[in-house]
Structure formats: C-alpha cells, structure tokens
Amino acid sequence: MGRFAAWPLMTALRRALLLSLPLVLVGTFALFLNALASFPFAAALPPDMVGTVRAVCTATVGGTFGLVALVAVIGFPYSFATLTATGRDRYPVNPASASMVVLSCFFIMVAPDTLERWKEALSSTRGLPAALVVAVSASWLFLFLARRPRFRLRLNGFGADPLVGDLLSVLPAAVTTIVVFAIVRQVQVELGGPDLTTALTAMITAPFVGATPSPLLAAVFEFMGQVIWFLGGHGANMMGPALEQIVASAGEAGSNAGGPPHVITWNFFSVYAGLGGSGSTLCLIIALLFADREPSARRLAWLSLLPALINVNEPLVFGLPLILNPIYAVPFILTPVVLTLLGYFATVIGFVPVADHAISWTMPPLLSGYLATGSLAGTVAQLAALTVGTFLYLPFVRIAARLRLAANAKAMQALRKASESDEAVLGNRLIDLPGTAGRFAGALAGDLNDALGSPNQLYLHYQPQVCIEERRVFGVEALLRWDHQIYGLIPPSVTVALAEDMGVIDQLGELVLRLACRQRAAWGGFVPNDLIVSVNVSPHQLRKADFDRTVLKILAEEGLQPDLLELEITESTSLTPAVQALGALLRLRSAGVRIALDDFGMGHTSLHYLRELPLDTLKIDRSLTFTSQGDLNEHVIRSIVALSRTLGLRAVVEGIEQPEQLPRFIDLGCGRFQGYLFSRPLGSGPCLDYIRANAGNAA
C-alpha cells in the first residue's frame, strides 16, 4: 500500500486534487453564507444587503467549485511531469508544456456547445471524472512521446528565453497527442456516442438505474464513494450523478406507493454519514483530540475542525493523510456506511422524520439534523452517530499513534546518527534528510522554535569535573537538555543540529550560556569560590562579530565573575573565519574568561589550535580513553599531559566510566577527570549536593 501511495501517478493525483483545496474552502464558506441568508433572522437585515451578499456568494461559488475540474486538468500533468523527471533525462520536459497539451485534449474531449455545458464540464461534480480521465491518459501519452528523440525537435541556442526552446522542442509530441485525442473524439461523434462527461456520468449511474431504494443500496452507494476517496479521487463529486439517480428512484417509489417521501433524500447522506464531510471526519477529529497526544496531530485536528463543521474533509484527508493510508482504511470506508445504516433504520422505525427539508450540505452537524428533519430528534440522531463514529475511529487512532511512536524512535536514531556525523553536509543536516527522518526533523524543528520561546522547556544539567590530587570538584560542564512532552529527552546533538538548520543556533547558545551563568551565580557561597562552569560554544556563535560583547553582557546581567566561566570549543570543528574567531577569544581571555579546547588529541587541527588559541584547558578526546597497557593511545595521552604541563594548561580526561580506567590514567600523569564513574549529569540541586559532598574529600 505504501509503495502504491508513493507511485508518481497517485502522488500527482493527490496533488491535483489538493490544488483545488483553497477553491473548495472558499466556495464552501460562500455556500454556507448563502444558506444563512435564507434564515429568518436575515429578514431583519436590509434587503439590498442580503441581495448583495447572495450575489457575491453566487459569484464566488461559480468561480471556485465551477473551476475544480479545470484545476485538476492543469495540476495533474504539471505534478506528473515533475515527479517523473530525473536528472538523467536526456530529453527533459517542461511541466508547463504538459499542462498546456493536456488542457487542449480536455477541451477536445468534452467539447461543450453551450454555456451551461461549459459550466458542467468544468464543475466539481459532473466535470471532475472526465477531467481526471483525460488528465491521466493525455499526460502519460504526451510525456511518453516527449521523452523520445523521434518526437523531439533538435534546437541549438534557440531564442533568448529558454522557455521558447522548451516548448518548440516538444512540438511533435504535443501535436501527436492532441491529434490522437481529436481522432478519438471524432470517432466517438461518428459512432453517435455521447461526449466524455455524459459517458462517464452514465457509467457511474448505471449500477443504480432502476434499483429499488433499500438499506443495501444506500450502503453500497456510500461504500463506493468512500473507496473512491481512499484511492485519491473526490468520492462525493464523482458519485454525484449516482446520488441523483438514487434520489429520483426513491421519489418515484414514494409517489407510486402514495405514501410519504422515501427515507433516501437529497440530504440523507450528508445529514447522517457526512459528519465533517465524506469519511465522517468530524468523528475522526474528536477521536484524535481525545486519544492522540502528539502536538502535530492535535494541531492538524484543530486546524481541520472549522472546515469539518461545514462538512469539508480535505484538510484531514490530505493532511493526515487518509488517502491510501492502510491504518485508517477500515474506519474511513466503513464508518460512513455504518452511520448511513443507523440513519436509515432510525428513520424507518420513526425515531426521526424523513430528512426531506431543503438545506445546504454546508450546514454544521447537529444543526443540519434539526433543519433537515424539522425535529430535535434529527439532532439527537446525529449526536448518536457522532458518538458511534468516534468509537469506531478510536482504536485505529491509538494504533496509528503507537506505530508513529515506533517510527519516530527509528527516525530519532537516524537523526542522532546524522547529527553526530563529521561528514560535510550541503544544506540542512537533519531537515533535508529523506523520508520519515526528514519529516520528523521538520516537526521537531517547529517544536524547538516553540521551546525557545518558553521559559521551562529547555534546561541544563551539570556534570562534575573532579580533581583527584585536591580530592574535590573543581568545575562543572553545563549540558543542554530538551525534555519533549511527547518524545521524551531529545539527544543534545539533535537539538543543536536542528537549531543550526533553523538558523537559531545563536539564540540557543545564548540561552545555554545565560542559564549556566545564572545557576553558577545562584550557587554563590555554597560552592568553592573558584568552581568553574564550562559551556560549549558552537563555531557559528564564534563567527558572530559581537560574540565577545554578548558573552560579557550576559556575565554582567547575571552577576557572574568572568574567571568563573569557561568556554569550550570543539576541536573537531572549523573556526572560520579564523581571524575573527581568534580576536573574539583573545578579548574574552583578556577579560578573564577561560578557554578550553574540547575533544583534543585526534583531530588534524589539534596542534594548530594549540598554537593559535588562548587556551587554559585541554579536554582529552574520549576516544583516547580506551587504552591498554603500552598501546598507542597511552603514549598519546602521556604526551598530551606532558605538553599541557609545559604550556601551563589544565588537562581533563573525559569519558571515564569504568573503575579500572582510573588507576591507569593516574599512572599516566592525569589528575583531572570527568565521566560517569564519578557522576552522571545532574540537575542543579543534586549537583550542588554532590559538589558540597566532594569539596576536599575523596572522590
């Protein structure tokens, strides 16, 4: 199902229908306003105002719903040409030329001869099936021909505008495609056949011609419409002619029996099954708000609520999505069928009157039940249908949420791997990743932006740094934490990479620096006076012209002495432009701020940084901590310790986790350590307790 949904033809079909979404929304609201103008309260308004509103709404409906088929004819070939193009195409096709050719083929095939027929051919009901058939077939034929040398003109340097060459080069393919459809249309005329719109209308209505109205007929109609929706078509519009046939048959049955109108009326399906539009999507929205805690899903549900109240389901159908989504296939198709049968039998047994009062399909649920039946029982029946539909969707919403969490966990692993990679990246590191990982990164990016504006979502933990010789904690490293309300702790590397992708790394870095300085100032006399707080600084921050001024400003605002702050620069990243970064560090160093070089020892720039930067501390790369007696890493560490003593620098060994590591590094001359063997990163309170418990005692 997933591969079928990703097929370029299906993707182009979805996009073609999605392009009409603004028209559908605007047209629906216009229909709704036009319907409100017929309510009794409108009589209190000036007649001219009501007439003007009606005229504006009518014009809007004609200019929106009346062009849906045209949008599909233009949008499908453009999307299909774009999706099927590859960088290896020897004969690329301009998508605009595909739209132009297909539009011509559509007009040839529908061939309206009156204004009313034109309106019908371009409308969202009768015109859409023909539009989709022509769009798919003509697009395929044109692109098939245009990507073959026999149907191309070879033009070299033709014209100043490249579009001229693009259009003329595919002229043979365009002419051939148009002629083929013209011949097909002429054969159709010679044989006395109807135009394509009429033919497709007859094909759709054929199963329902002469059929006796019954619960089974109603269920089959709703089932077929939902299947069309699920496959990417506009079920309500494409089944419109069939609804006309069913209502006509029901009316004839009622007249012949000499009794009241039949259960199935124009409003029947929209009142009982179309709660929120085809698919009973208002039930799904309630289920999402009740059972899905993911912010993106809830935002989509709230966004879809207003359109759903006037029975427009497209935001949820395309946004969740519901089209070709195997998780929601069963409830999306069957829930409206179940609600149709409930409405049918509720009417048959006399619980509600027949829904034969003329109302617009845009009337909100609960109100439409009352208006269509003329009874509060209609509202009660709709409320019961909403409840049943919500319970039918609930288990599938929970299944989808669990599967999404599992997929997100896998995507998080991919994000962590990408964020920790040292490979050069073009563009965004995480957001541009393909597939689920990239979409997940995009969702997290939006949440991170919200978190930066909130005072409590981002916070710091502190990992103690221990001096064995002095038997005390001499410093702490401030480490960023983001506890996402849905996904839990986000790896810091992912948070930083997302901030870089979004261009807010400076804002994030300043927040971390401010929180660290504020906490160290708050500890005050409760910790040793020379306890240092270390903060990691990104290369992007260092490239800012006012970086040193920003640091000193934060120190002054938080009331912290500069010599209690240490800025950690990652050795594995490039400090460019070097002159600007070096100048900022020199000015900070002269003000008293300490500078540490992180991950020292394995990178090719280690000695260059050691020579150029005003350093106070070397933090030995954790990859060197995996040593054995006499191996190369041991010799490297011994050399780094000796070099640091010669230069008057502190050497701190990171990543000490196993008890057997400690005596080996002490023998190598190391005296300052940081790692899980001593303490994991701690919140401010537990970290203060650890510092005070290890202020001059054995660590």
User: Which residues are catalytic, by number?
Assistant: 654
Least Cα distance to 263 among 209, 337, 212, 220 occurs for 212
- Partners of residue 565 on adjacent β-strands: 533
- Partners of residue 598 on adjacent β-strands: 570
- Partners of residue 59 on adjacent β-strands: none
CB 132 within 8 A of CB 76: yes
Helix (H, G, I), strand (E, B) or coil at 455: coil
User: Would you mind telling me the total number of residues written for the chain in this entry?
Assistant: 699
CB 481 within 8 A of CB 493: no
How distant, in Å, are the alpha carbons of 147, 234, 431 from that of 139? 12, 19, 32
* Strand (E) or helix (H) holding 477: strand 472-484
CB 598 within 8 A of CB 538: no
Dihedral sign of CA atoms 243, 248, 251, 257 in order? negative
Token pair for 231: 């496959």
Token pair for 694: 């290890």
* Strand (E) or helix (H) holding 390: helix 376-420
| Bridge-based pairing state of the strands 650-654 and 617-620 | parallel
- CA dist., res. 521 & res. 558, Å (int): 7
Q: C-alpha angle 119/125/129, rounded to 5°?
A: 100
- CA dist., res. 54 & res. 437, Å (int): 49
Q: Position of tokens 């011609």? A: 209
